[in-house]
Amino acid sequence: MIEIEMTAALSPEVAAILARHGCQVLETRLLFPEGTRRKEVYPRTYDERHLITLPDGYVCMVQHLRLSGLYILFYTPEPHY
């Protein structure tokens, strides 16, 4: 299981999207479900970036802030039909 500590709490909209895809949102911690894959994004910058692919195919990106050890989450909005 992949777990990250984020710089701030997620908005209710983002927390709901991630929960629908099997993630657990705990204040500023995010736990991805079993089967989640992480792939580093190149070229590498000062901070590491990873594409996160959940078991159901949902994709987001995280950036690991080297100085603080925390993460920033870049989520993919879901389409509104």
Contact 73, 49 (CB under 8 A): no
DSSP string, 6-65: BSSPPPHHHHHHHHHTT-EEETTEEEPPTT-EEEE-SS--SSEEEEEE-TTS-EEEEEE-
Per-residue pLDDT averaged across 16-32, rounded? Answer: 94
pLDDT digits (tens, 9 = 90+) for 6-19: 988 899 999 999 99
pLDDT digits (tens, 9 = 90+) for 37-47: 999 999 888 99
Amino acid at site 41: V
Compute the distance between CA of residue 47 and CA of residue 35 in angstroms, rounded to an integer.
Answer: 25
